[in-house]
Amino acid sequence: MTAYLAGRILALIPVLLVVGAVVFGLTRFTPGDPVRVLLGEDARPEQVQALRRHLGLDRPLVVQFGLWVARAVRGDLGVSYFNRLPVRWIIAQHLGPTVMLALLAITVALCIGIPVGVVSALFRNSWLDQASLALALLGAAVPSFWLGLSLIVVFAVGLGWLPSSGFKPLTEGLWPSVRHLLLPALALGLPNSALIIRFVRSSLLDVISADYVRTARAKGLAERVVIFRHALRNALVPILTVVGLTFAALMGGAVVTETVFAIPGIGQLVVSSVLRRDYPVIQGVTLVVTTSYVMINLVVDLLYLAVDPRVKY
Amino acid sequence: MIRRPGTQLVGALVLIALLVAVTASTAGPAPRRGGVLRFALIGEPPTLDPSATTVGVTANVGASIFEGLFAFDRSWRPQPMLVDSYTISPDGRTYTFRLRRNVFFHNDKELTAEDVVASLNRWGKVGSRGAVVYQSVDAVTAQDKYTVVMRLKEPFAPLLAFLALPSSMAAIMPKEIAEATPVGPVKEFIGTGPYRFVEWVPNRHIRLARWTKYSPRTETPNLYAGRREPLADEVVFYPVGNVATRIAGVQTGEFDVADSISTDLYAQLKADPRVVPEIVDRGIWLVFFFNKKSPLTSNVKLRQAILVALNMQPILQVTIGNPDLYALSPSLYPRGTPWYSEAGAEWYNVGDVERAKRLAAEAGYRGEPIRWLTTLQYDWMFKATTVAATQLRRAGFTIDQQVYEWAGVVERRARPGEWEMFTTGHGFVPDPALIDVFSPAYPGWWDSPTKTELFRQFTRAVDLQERQRLWHRLHELVYTEASWVKTGEFFFVHLRAKALQGFTPAPWFVTWNLPAIK
């Protein structure tokens, strides 16, 4: 087990190196110059040159990459070209909103996905199943920006129940913070629930026809106990996989939703950094997101152990 | 006696109403102090140092923190701001600025001539407009604690306009900060403005607070000039990239003002009782620059052919839509300003395909592709380019429309070998000397001998009438040499909450003399 864990974590090193190199290359070979974005349209060539030297952008690419790796190994992700703040600090600032939003969105997705999926499996081929299929298709098909804007129009502009945008950190109280994230969590959670509905339905159907479920029914257990204690528990492994993948994807920043709701999360940070060509931030975020993706997958793999005793590492 | 129960109440109400009316009429318009002003910006500024960049978002925030020696009034004339009085020598080469006393920086230090000298010298290095001015500057010195002398190598007529402009601003900051940052933007934002910098949480907000030691001028407020009073306790700027979200935020009362809303929604928002769309009446020129270093468009005949092929009305109609929000005119400056001119008007808005074909043939054009850089990041640039390209194709030109994000356009247009035309917007500038097309260093690189000589005379002439005479000739030259295509002008629209009284729509936010709603 320890060897397995150590192996998984050590495997992160080559992954991060490759991702770091690819992102470094992509940012440098994409047209666009951070210095010109920073100085504005009318900057004179000599000013552009001076700032480029100042930021170390005039050095050969190999040297720039080497310096970046040498610092990153020590946990120093450099300094943003724009606000001159440490990249580590900037990422930490943006991680909070994204984690909160991801947790809320996954909660929304589960609260919808599991009950609807269960009902859909239990009443297979009934009108309830058809309705859940329609809901899932709609959820998967609706673009998140449209859903987000529609939620704003209805719940913020029309009814005035919830704020239309922005973010309040937890330090300003749990309710103000959650209130600001409810609409974006819905906008993200609804489409993600579609996948969960379908997965819960199909894995539950697999399990329901298994022998031990028939046995449980035969020995006179209440249907509630059969479904929740026996069937659903055994259907959990594939569901866990989907939830893990969805959560990991959300941690990479829900770019569109964060932009629509002006949430200062990782997604917004990536977009604004790419548009400005803020190389140190783009590289830093990629490393952090890659690490969290790998770690979430690791946690999911470990959760299999808890859910299914047959799994051994 | 039986009284009707309501009589007393009615009597009391009438009395209260009378009292309220009397108090209101005698109390005068003492503006409300306190509260927070909330502005939704179009995005995150690259820096808050307005000296180092011409980026509009930076100027929008920086104009509240920093001040210059001069500031523009409503008719775009530079008026003293940090300067108390000034003199110009008869030969136009020595400017003596006497500073106001008891003006304090946000770090409690009093403003002195040394700070001004250091700030201006830094602006001459890091500011693109400062660098233009400093080509003519011989020396800037502190004559005494409150007097700054600027000596020029040659007269430079638009000097005061350059010193008053909020973008690439000649921002005055403490000497220590100015001298510590000779390259790139400063990290400490300390000025003399009505609001001081408090915090900047990236992608979340920029918070400013009233500068309690602010000493306002005494003249009547007049756009950026005159008395500035920080009425609100705080001003908070939020970066909100999505325009629909900015609008919804004002409708729901989360923001007081939203920067640049989409013009398509103007009519709809005008009917909304919660908000007021405000037109900023100094617009943006929608322009196409020609590359004078490309073998194709270095040929003036070919540039003229493209100019006469274009019909500006449909371009602006498709791009902007609502006719309230754009203007078609050959003049770069509106009627009523000193710079209004119709010289060269016969080249504007022609849309003559036959003449375009003739001119192209004379230029020896044989259908070589004209590479035109544009972006989808600003949808108006893309729309205008697409309509114009269609018109040009109809006139026999081969147009290779190349779409990048904005940063890609900015990088490519700096390389003369990669393009023939690019689309951009040119913000309002109060003096024609500030227009990019005249700068031989700006992509497009217009430096014909006639233009260079005329422009030199124009910037040296001190007398306004002489400058106007030269301006007409330059204005005509912009058309006859087809240095760029100015299609027209469109106006930005800011959205404000209806309850926010006293808001001034202007190219850069005026946050002072503005009472907060709550």
pLDDT at B253 over 60: yes
User: Distance (Å, rounded) from C-alpha A35 to C-alpha A48?
Assistant: 6
In A, which residues are within 8 Å of B50 by CB distance? none
The torsion angle over the Cα atoms of residues B326, B330, B334 and B338, rounded to 10 degrees, is 160
Of B56 and B484, which is predicted with more confidence?
A: B484
Length of chain A: 313
Q: Taking the CA atoms of chain A, what radius of gyration do you get in angstroms?
A: 24
B421 by Cβ neighbours in 10 Å (0-12 / 13-18 / 19+) ranks as buried
Q: Residue A33: which of A17, A45, A21 has the closest Cα?
A: A45
CA distance A113 to chain B (A): 28
pLDDT at A55 over 90: no
Supply φ then ψ for residue B19, to 5 degrees. -60, -45
Q: Residue B195: which of B61, B9, B53 has the closest Cα?
A: B61
Question: What average pLDDT score do residues B374-393 get?
Answer: 93
Of A197 and B17, which is predicted with more confidence?
A: A197
Helices B300-309 and B379-394 meet at what angle, rounded to 10? Answer: 100
Supply B269's token pair.
């928002």
User: Can you tell me whether residue B435 is helix, strand or coil?
Assistant: coil
A140 by Cβ neighbours in 10 Å (0-12 / 13-18 / 19+) ranks as middle
> Is B510 in contact with B73 (CB distance < 8 Å)?
no
Supply φ then ψ for residue B100, to 5 degrees. -70, 150
User: Can you tell me whether residue B78 is helix, strand or coil?
Assistant: strand
In A, which residues are within 8 Å of B239 by CB distance? 262, 272
> Is A48 in contact with A57 (CB distance < 8 Å)?
no
Confidence of residue A243 (pLDDT cuts 50, 70, 90): confident
User: Distance (Å, rounded) from C-alpha B110 to C-alpha B120?
Assistant: 17
User: Distance (Å, rounded) from C-alpha B494 to C-alpha B126?
Assistant: 30
Q: Residue B491: which of B433, B425, B434 has the closest Cα?
A: B425
Report how far apart the first and last C-alpha atoms of chain A are (Å, whole number).
Answer: 6
Across the interface, whether the CB atoms of A93 and B202 are under 8 A apart is answered: yes
CA distance B84 to chain A (A): 31
Supply B431's token pair.
């003096």
Confidence of residue B483 (pLDDT cuts 50, 70, 90): very high
**What is the ipTM for the molecules in this complex?**
0.80
Across the interface, whether the CB atoms of A44 and B248 are under 8 A apart is answered: no
User: Distance (Å, rounded) from C-alpha B274 to C-alpha A91?
Assistant: 37
Across the interface, whether the CB atoms of B52 and A38 are under 8 A apart is answered: yes
Strands, DSSP E only, in B410-461? 421-426
pLDDT at B316 over 90: yes
Report how far apart the first and last C-alpha atoms of chain B are (Å, whole number).
Answer: 49
What pLDDT is recorded for position B20?
47
Question: What average pLDDT score do residues B447-476 get?
Answer: 92
> Is B324 in contact with B266 (CB distance < 8 Å)?
yes
Whether chain A has a CB inside 8 Å of the CB on B249: the answer is yes
Supply B374's token pair.
């544009």
User: Distance (Å, rounded) from C-alpha A174 to C-alpha A168?
Assistant: 9
> Is B164 in contact with B430 (CB distance < 8 Å)?
yes
Strand order in the sheet with B147-152: B83-88, B94-99, B147-152, B137-144
Q: Quickly list DSSP for B34-75.
A: -SEEEEEESS--S-S-TTT---HHHHHHHHHH---SEEE-TT
Across the interface, whether the CB atoms of B411 and A31 are under 8 A apart is answered: yes
Supply B347's token pair.
């080249």
Query: Using CB atoms, which residue from B46, B240, B254 is nearest to A38?
Result: B46
Of B22-26, B147-151, B380-384, B403-407, where does mean pLDDT reach its minimum? B22-26
Please name every residue paired with B497 in a beta bridge, in sequence order, or none if there are none: B275
In B, which residues are within 8 Å of A38 by CB distance? 46-47, 52-53, 184-185
In A, which residues are within 8 Å of B53 by CB distance? 38-40, 43
What pLDDT is recorded for position B29?
61
What pLDDT is recorded for position B494?
95
User: Distance (Å, rounded) from C-alpha A46 to C-alpha A26?
Assistant: 27
The contacts of residue A83 (CB under 8 Å, 6+ apart) are A90, B47, B200, B202
User: Distance (Å, rounded) from C-alpha B102 to C-alpha B504?
Assistant: 28
On average, the pLDDT of chain A sits at: 86
User: Distance (Å, rounded) from C-alpha B137 to C-alpha B322?
Assistant: 45
Burial B136-148 (b: 16+ CB within 10 A, else e): bbeebebeeebbb
Tokens 């929000």: give the residue: B325
Supply A299's token pair.
């946690």
Whether chain A has a CB inside 8 Å of the CB on B238: the answer is yes
Question: What average pLDDT score do residues A80-101 get?
Answer: 89
User: Distance (Å, rounded) from C-alpha B496 to C-alpha B511?
Assistant: 13
What pLDDT is recorded for position B200?
92
Distance of CA B265 to the CA centre of its chain: 23
pLDDT at B53 over 90: no
> Is B71 in contact with B79 (CB distance < 8 Å)?
yes
Q: Closest chain B residue to A261 measured between Cα atoms? A: B245
- Residue pLDDT, tens place only, B213-246: 999 999 999 999 999 999 999 999 999 988 888 9
Interface of B with A in 295-354 (CB under 8 A): none
In A, which residues are within 8 Å of B57 by CB distance? none
User: Distance (Å, rounded) from C-alpha B433 to C-alpha B79?
Assistant: 18
Across the interface, whether the CB atoms of A260 and B128 are under 8 A apart is answered: no
pLDDT at B314 over 90: yes
Cα–Cα distances in angstroms (integers) from residue A73 to residues A27, A281, A296, in the given order: 20, 16, 22
Question: What average pLDDT score do residues B244-257 get?
Answer: 92
**Residue B186: CB atoms within 10 Å:** 20
pLDDT above 70 coverage of chain A, percent: 99
Q: Residue B126: which of A171, A46, A5 has the closest Cα?
A: A46
Q: What is the DSSP letter of B156?
A: -
User: Distance (Å, rounded) from C-alpha B455 to C-alpha B437?
Assistant: 11
Supply φ then ψ for residue B191, to 5 degrees. -125, -155
pLDDT at A294 over 80: yes
Supply φ then ψ for residue A252, to 5 degrees. -70, 0
What pLDDT is recorded for position A127?
93
Burial B462-501 (b: 16+ CB within 10 A, else e): eeeeebeebbebbbbbbbebbbbbbbbbbbbbbbbbeebe
Across the interface, whether the CB atoms of B54 and A156 are under 8 A apart is answered: no
Across the interface, whether the CB atoms of A93 and B204 are under 8 A apart is answered: yes
Whether chain A has a CB inside 8 Å of the CB on B378: the answer is no
What pLDDT is recorded for position A253?
65
In A, which residues are within 8 Å of B238 by CB distance? 166, 262
pLDDT above 90 coverage of chain B, percent: 70
The contacts of residue B35 (CB under 8 Å, 6+ apart) are B232, B233, B234, B515, B516, B517, B518
Q: How many Cβ pairs within 8 Å bridge chains A and B?
A: 150
Q: Closest chain A residue to B407 measured between Cα atoms? A: A32
Whether chain A has a CB inside 8 Å of the CB on B245: the answer is yes
Amino acid at B470: L
